[in-house]
Chain A
Amino acid sequence: MTEEHADTRDINDPARLAEERAGQVEKEAAEIRRTQVPVETEPPTTFRL
């Protein structure tokens, strides 16, 4: 968001927070996806009984 389009809502406004936190989930997802794991050498799943 640019300076001239800065969000004027209160920082604790529920609608603003909902958008921000949803955006954060997407941003973190993008960072996680960016890190590749080589499937050829990846060990088996860690699930165990």
Chain B
Amino acid sequence: MSAFAGIAELAEALRGKRMSAIELARETLERLEKIGPRYNAVASLTRARALREAAAADRALARGDTASPLAGIPYGAKDLLAARGAPTTWGAPPYRDRSFPADATAVARLRRAGAVLAAKLAMVELAGGGGYRYPSASLQGPGKNPWDPTRWSGGSSSGSGAAVAAGLVPFALGSETSGSIGTPSAYCGVTGLRPTYGLVSRHGAMALSWTLDKIGPMARSASDCATVLAALAGPDAHDPTTSGKRFRALDPEAARERVAAVRVGYAGEEMELASEAAHDALVRGVDELRRIAPRFVEARLPEDLPYGPMVSTVYGAEGATIFAELIESDRLDELPDERQKAGLRASLEIRARDYLQAMRLRSVLIARMREIFRECDVIVSAGRTATATPIDQPLDAPTLPAGASAARDAAGARRGNIGLIPAGNLAGLPAIFFPCGFGSDGLPVGLQLVGPPHSEPLLVALVEAYQRETDHHLARPGSA
């Protein structure tokens, strides 16, 4: 069985007795152990647990219990999710020896679905809430990209992106406050789904921002993301912010009808500002999408809202409150990234007035996004406008060509679709990130589709249709 097999293919092999869950778990653990360190992708292996869960899956399959598509399927979880029996470090040296006595709800739900937790995956320390300068801001070291280990795998779900891209696990759990599923998905060439705020319980997950954090799957395809999301979504008494809604993919006929009729909102500015390496692949990707969903309409985000300052004020204030004890202690000095430390300290000084004003503007944004989604069903834009940056490049250095950076500055990062990542997160909107080819530098390039709250079934159907007609998501890095 290929290390790059998807969930459905693996499930079929398990049900057909062509391999056992134990064999699959052992192969997965071996790849994680052998190849994981090349990319600094693994925080810790959960070997004993994996073998125990795989044995349970084999027993269930032997009984003919084949209802769960995740039975016996291995995965990795970002190291901000608690998992009983394993360390949960939040990627940060002050927490290197810490573990929790119970599973996070997301991990518990996957366990109940028969999935096999094989590893905790590396992440940027504290999900990067202080504004880190270097990819090395992680207990596991800089996340290296399987397509080119001299490049970053993206953050903050660095290990989740690299592990899926390198064929170490068929899927992983990541989390996003503002960009942390999208960036590693785009940089590593995998498909990632950021659910609607409140669709997936965050109980047992490190909080960076109570009002922004989301947990979602990263996998080889939209179909695989949907399979995982179906197991994750739903109400949780331990997380009062859960909406109570569940996720179910559209049946094939409904999916065909919705895709044929979907109105895709598009604004070209993001593409015009793309880096030279990423530009052509992004444009080709949009053209491919247009052939599948031809009803393109113009869509522009509100131009008068400061998305960047809004999102950093919200997660800065919430994160500084959450980590106040750490920030005010000597243990903060254990974090390796000086900019991250300075950012966390500075965020303690965000005024209540400014936090509340940012939250007021969020309400305005949510109402405006509702208006936009009267004219279109989804918005398409670049997943990231540049390909993965060099591993030693400061992340606050410009990634765009001089002209594009100047244009973006002139636009105040507020024009058209610029700012879709912070805007989508501030409004709690779901998004799916998917590969659409390669840049001129040979690195993955991806698009994102954003929809109104709880439009995940449509987003998945659209990318499934795209991935049936293209093979970008099937490309494999040579170094893995």
Contacts and interface: CB of A to CB of B under 8 A. Distances in A.
Interface of A: 11-14, 17-18, 20-22, 24-25, 27-29, 31-35, 37, 42-43, 46
A17 B360 contact: no
B346 A22 contact: yes
Interface string B327-365: 000000000001101110111011101100111110110
A16 B363 CA distance: 35
B76 interface: no
Contacts of A17: 338-339, 341-342
B441 interface: no
A37 B353 CA distance: 13
A9 B269 CA distance: 37
Interface in B408-436: none
Nearest to B347: A25
Contacts of A21: 131, 339, 342-343, 345-346
Contacts, number: 72
A11 B359 CA distance: 32
Contact of A12 (B312, B339, B353): B339
A42 B363 CA distance: 9
Contact of B342 (A18, A35, A37, A43): A18
B133 interface: yes
Given A12-B338, A29-B350, A35 B304 contact: yes
Given A12-B339, A18-B346, A37-B361, A29 B133 contact: no
- Which bucket holds chain B's interface residue count? 20 to 34
14 contacts: A21-B346, A24-B346, A25-B316, A25-B350, A27-B309, A28-B309, A29-B350, A31-B306, A32-B313, A32-B358, A35-B304, A35-B306, A37-B357, A46-B363
Nearest to B240: A49
Given A11-B394, A20-B342, A22-B349, A35 B133 contact: no
Contacts of A32: 306, 309-310, 313, 354, 357-358, 361
B335 to A, nearest CB: 12
Interface string B429-450: 0000000000000000000000
Contacts of B357: 32-33, 35, 37
B426 to A, nearest CB: 12
A43 B313 contact: no
Given A12-B338, A35-B361, A29 B351 contact: yes
Contacts of B363: 42-43, 46
A20 B394 CA distance: 15
Interface in B245-289: none
